[in-house]
A and B are shown apart, each in its own frame.
Chain A
């Protein structure tokens, strides 16, 4: 078993695997250590949305950069990851919402971003004929789409391994110590060492951070999804709502995936999530009201994945504030899948060159540092 590496990546989700791939592309030898198997949690079981639409302003540049990798994902990985680009549409349920959307699109334009486009009732109806007539318009991001999340994570992993990365599954990291410029990691499978460590441990990343003396207020979430039987093709873009929680898309095989942010119960130590049907019933109600075509569909399965959420709803990205040679990449709050390809490239650039052109200051872990009382004047 390999015990040393140039970089140890903790966590085999899409972020860990993407970072490992991009490190390997730069000629480094990364080692990914995953406690379960690659894509076991949020990365493998999310809704697969590849979305620039409606992102936090701080995330927009990263999302736009990642989109460029998505559009040539087959060249990058030798697997198309079932990525299809039929756009994503944020539907306004009333005029007040549409006014808010108009203001957002104008604001994005002023900042130089043109991917979000305001649409009226007619264009909405053209893009999403099945939507209820009551909706006055929305925003479309035409290059957005969806991919198969587990397949994507596995494709990153496979390509990383093909280029020289090692992926160890079923191995948990139990401790980190730095001696003479080298990080010594203890694990359920013995010691490992490397000068650089990436914390991409998802819903378990706070434990790594805390052991480095920088605790973060990470909340464990379990976003629920449900899926229908196969129904005739009736909708191409991914549809999302703002007011009521909903994301809605029909997959290539005809099944319809319904999600949108309702949380189930979870126990991250036992790898268990439990469905809250009272909340999923609300999602079903929303679908029933907005999409008459769905009235006869069947719900075949439901599930939830364990994910990390930060209080400000944006991730932690960048170097540790306390530990030299450690980089964080976690806390994606349920919208990290699309960022995976781009952030892997960004992290590899940061590790290899010490800098990146993309603005990552808003994601610094230092934002959670406890405020220290000012020292009394001497």
Chain B
């Protein structure tokens, strides 16, 4: 593909170019979504009995399981996306600009998945959506989750994603392509003038500033959903809200690292996202991980030092009993990355393969930890002598979970075909084509 033939040049980063590889990835993702839908329909038809969840107490089950774990996980992931994007713009971190948009997209996608995971968990989903808008009570920690996290934060992130992408839309609208009118609409009259740039900078700055406290309040309210429950040993405590926020950052940054590694290869933009960007992300992740592991140590020490009877049962189940495999597995999945990241930070040699492995591992650890927050306090945290319970997710829950992850992949894949996922360098459309960055 040579530069110079203006009328037939493909849009950058493979936008509008539906290649074979893309079709395959999207096709598989779509199949995954269908699997999820099938699982959900079975659940709606039979009732929630199709899941592995059962009542606490006499039924000795867990009534919040995989779905709620996923809600907490997805909302957690969304935290990092917009925070990283806001930090990049607030502090003008040039080397990270290439990552900003995919981070913003990650937030939007993760929040949509989080919202869907809540709805899937409701016994009466349609009624739930209506009644929450109609009757939601501020005293319930769910109020914050519903209004601030799902509605407010999602909208704010969409605004952020939209405004920061207008310039690229305007640039692409100048070129003839099938998506031209779509870009024009998106750009909404954007003019690449100095005055506009100044306005952009100001708006970005203030938006980021407004978003960050919204984020902290929103994520803390999610922590409060658990931390305020005096009747649930293992949940009740002051650490829940802050630990939520920190683990959110960990899983989110992990995601961004993996996304950035895959995307820069797929759209051949290795120079837009250089190793210094990964180094920054790696260092940030290391700090957050150390912070989170500190929380874990404090939590566990407090749990085992002078526990109540119920807490004894709980800590036993976590450290040596039913949940030991998940617990120690998650700890390893969070601790190994610390060593890898520390090594890379100290020797200042950042290996992409290690970083991707770290990104995947911390997310496995985060999912495990979210599950361990939600479930054990129900099966092993009864204050009345009901006896120990158990919970095994059914195929329906696995199907729906798989559907969610597939939907996430699908949304990102579709976005990449209608809009450049990496912010275009100013006035360098020509340069990018010169270096033959074309989607295979």
Q: A and B from one assembly? A: no
